[in-house]
Amino acid sequence: MEHIVSLKDIVVNFDGEQILNHINLDIKDKEFVTLLGPSGCGKTTTLRIIGGFLEPDSGVITFEGKKINGLPAYKRNVNTVFQRYALFPHLNVYENIAFGLHVKKLPEREIRKRVGEMLDLVNLRGYEKRNISRLSGGQQQRVAIARALVNRPKVLLLDEPLGALDLKLRKEMQIELKRIQQSLEITFIYVTHDQEEALTMSDTVVVMNQGNIQQIGTPVDIYNEPENAFVADFIGESNIIPGIMLKDCLVEISGREFVCVDKGFGNNTPVDVVIRPEDITLVPTEDAKLSGVVTSVTFKGVHYEMVVEAYDYQWLIQSTRSAELGSAVGISFGPDDIHIMHKMKG
Ligand SMILES: Nc1ncnc2c1ncn2[C@@H]1O[C@H](COP(=O)(O)OP(=O)(O)O)[C@@H](O)[C@H]1O
Ligand SMILES: [Mg+2]
C-alpha cells in the first residue's frame, strides 16, 4: 500500500465562500508531511477532513485505499494534537495519557505498560503523578503528544503544536518530534505557518494559499525550485523581479540580457524572475550588467543585509561583507542563481 491517506478533489465551502478549492494530496505511509501556508489558507480545515471532524462538500478521502467519507473520527486510525493541548486539568500526567486506554477498557497491566512506553518516548519518566497545572508549556505539550500516540494510531495530525512555545523550546521540540516520528515509524501530518519549521522537519512540504495547493515537494525542492512567486516569497526572502523570457536560457531583466538555465517558457514571455538574496554578490559597477545605490545596511549577526535600489526595484542582498551606505554597486549573479517562474495567476 503506497498511500496511507489520499485527498481527491476536496472542496469545502463555508457561508458560500470556497475554503478548499479542489485539493488533491497523496500522503505516503511513514512520511512526515507538513501543510505550510499563511493564516486562513485552509490548513486546519484540511486536517479536520482527514481527522473526521468535518465532511467535505465534495471529493473523496481514502485511508489505505479505502474510502472513509462519513466515517466518524473515533473509527479512524488517526489522532490529533492541537495547539491548545486540551489536557484534562483535574487529572495527573499518568491519568491524562491513560485516559483513552481506560475508555477502551484495556487491562490495567497493559495500560501501565503502554503509558510507561509513552513516558519514555517523551522523556517524562518520573512525572507520572505531577499535576498538569504544575507542568511547563513544553511538558504539557509532551503529555498531549503521549496521549495522542498511546492508542498507536497509524497517522498523527498535529495542528501548530508548538505555536505556544517560545523560540528556544520550539526548536528543541522540533527535533524531539522528528525523533519520535522516526522511532515510531508512523505518518505525521503537521500544520504550521512557520516556513523554517516546515523546512527543518518535513520529508514533504505542501505549500497552500487561499484554499489552493501551490506546490508539493521536498524542503530542498521547495526552497531551490519554487514553482511560482507565492512559494518563492513565502519560503524565505526573495527578490521577485519582472522579466521577459526571450528564448530558452535567455532572460531580460531591466533591459539587460542574462543567461539562465530555464527552458520551455516560449519566446518573449513575461515571467517573474526570482533570485535569492544570498545568491547575489556586490561587485564594482563596471563588473556588472546591473548597478544601483545602497539604500540600507543592516547587521544580522552572521551576515549583513543590504538593499540596493536599481531601475525602480529594491534588491535585497545578503553578504558577510558590508557595503557602504549610499555607494554605487554592481549586482552580480550567475545563470544557476536565476529562477524563472510563470506569472502568478490572479
Ligand atoms: N467553521 C467555520 N465557519 C466559517 N468559516 C470558517 C470555519 N472554519 C474556518 N473558516 C474559514 O476558513 C478559512 C480557512 O480556515 P483554516 O482552515 O482554519 O485556516 P488555517 O488553519 O490555514 O489558518 C478561514 O478564512 C476561516 O475564517
Ligand atoms: Mg489553523
Mean predicted confidence (pLDDT) in 275-291: 95
Mean predicted confidence (pLDDT) in 260-277: 94
User: Three cell numbers at 104?
Assistant: 477502551
Contact (Cβ atoms closer than 8 angstroms) between residue 144 and residue 180: no
For the chain, the helix, strand and coil percentages under 3-state DSSP, each to the nearest 5: 30, 35, 35
Contact (Cβ atoms closer than 8 angstroms) between residue 281 and residue 333: yes
Higher pLDDT among residues 167 and 155, named by residue: 155
The residue whose CA has the least distance to atom 25 of ligand 1 is: 40
DSSP H/E element including 297: strand 290-299
Nearest CA to 131 among 143, 122, 121, 119? Answer: 143
User: Collapsing DSSP states into helix, strand and coil, what is residue 249?
Assistant: coil
pLDDT of 1 strictly over 70: no
User: Collapsing DSSP states into helix, strand and coil, what is residue 190?
Assistant: strand
Q: What type of residue is 311?
A: Y
Query: From the CA of 19, how far away is ligand 1's center (Å)?
Result: 7
Q: Which of the ligands is closest to the CA of residue 42?
A: 1
How far apart, in Å, are the Cα atoms of 229 and each of 20, 274, 280? 21, 7, 18
Nearest CA to 9 among 170, 115, 20, 336? Answer: 20
* pLDDT over 70 percentage in the chain: 99
In order, the DSSP letters of 251-288 are EEETTEEEE-S---S-SSEEEEEEE-GGG-EEE-GGG-
Query: From the CA of 35, how far away is ligand 1's center (Å)?
Result: 14
Query: From the CA of 215, how far away is ligand 1's center (Å)?
Result: 20
* pLDDT over 90 percentage in the chain: 82
pLDDT of 346 strictly over 50: no
Nearest CA to 290 among 329, 338, 336, 344? Answer: 329
pLDDT of 329 strictly over 50: yes
Mutate to test the pocket of ligand 1, among 12, 17, 20, 45 (most ligand atoms within 8 A of CB): 45
The residue whose CA has the least distance to atom 20 of ligand 1 is: 40
The residue whose CA has the least distance to atom 9 of ligand 1 is: 45
pLDDT tens-digit map of 65-117 = 999 999 999 899 999 998 777 889 889 999 999 998 999 899 999 999 999 99
Residues 176 and 166: their CA atoms lie apart, in Å, by 15
pLDDT tens-digit map of 332-342 = 999 999 999 88
Mean predicted confidence (pLDDT) in 327-331: 97
The residue whose CA has the least distance to atom 16 of ligand 1 is: 42
pLDDT of 212 strictly over 70: yes
Topology (CATH level 3) of domain 3-229? Rossmann fold (3.40.50)
Query: From the CA of 267, how far away is ligand 2's center (Å)?
Result: 42
Mutate to test the pocket of ligand 1, among 18, 19, 20 (most ligand atoms within 8 A of CB): 19
Q: Which of the ligands is closest to the CA of residue 48?
A: 1
Give the residue extent of every domain in the chain.
3-229, 237-342
The atom of ligand 1 lying closest to the CA of 20 is: 14
